[in-house]
């Protein structure tokens, strides 16, 4: 994806979703994913602020997804969502489970 570069964890410059042009890019990949994966996540899934700037890291996105999935268990076992969110987030962050992944 144009405008992206790697810096020990991918970053997105201002034109794509980070800092204003001419400033240091904002680090968004705290999991050290491949550049292509980070580009797709930044383009499609990472939360943005009202100005279109990415506001969460790849790990935070995984935590957010895990919390949403864990909420489904709350209907069956009240009070269990936090425990399941932690388990799901761990599996996502360790890349043991990747929803909708061709891997």
Query: Secondary structure of 56-78 in the HEC alphabet?
Result: CCHHHHHHHHHHHHHHHHHCCCC
Is the domain of 63 the same as that of 86?
yes
% of the chain with per-residue pLDDT over 90: 50
Give the residue numbers spanning the domain of 39.
5-44
Residues 40 and 62 both lie in one domain: no
pLDDT tens digit sequence for 21-32: 433 345 678 888
Total domains present in the chain: 2
The model's pLDDT over 48-60, given as tens digits with 9 standing for 90+, comes to 999 999 999 999 9
Is residue 53 in a domain? no
Asked whether residue 69 is domain-assigned, the answer is: yes
Q: Are residues 36 and 62 in the same domain?
A: no
Between strands 26-27 and 10-12, the pairing is: antiparallel
Q: Is residue 51 part of a domain?
A: no
Give how far Cα 18 sits from Cα of 3, 5, 6, 75, 81, Å.
11, 12, 14, 38, 32
The C-alpha atoms of residue 102 and residue 79 are separated, in whole angstroms, by 33
């Amino acid at each position: 994806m144009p405008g992206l570069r790697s810096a020990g964890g991918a970053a997105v410059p201002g034109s794509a979703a980070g800092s204003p042009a001419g400033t240091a890019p904002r680090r968004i990949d705290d999991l050290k994913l491949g550049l292509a994966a980070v580009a797709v996540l930044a383009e499609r899934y990472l939360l943005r602020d009202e100005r279109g700037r990415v506001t969460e890291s790849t790990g935070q996105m995984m935590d957010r997804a895990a919390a949403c999935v864990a909420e489904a268990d709350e209907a069956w076992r009240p009070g269990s969502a936090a425990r399941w969110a932690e388990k799901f987030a761990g599996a996502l962050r360790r890349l043991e489970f990747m929803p909708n992944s061709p891997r």
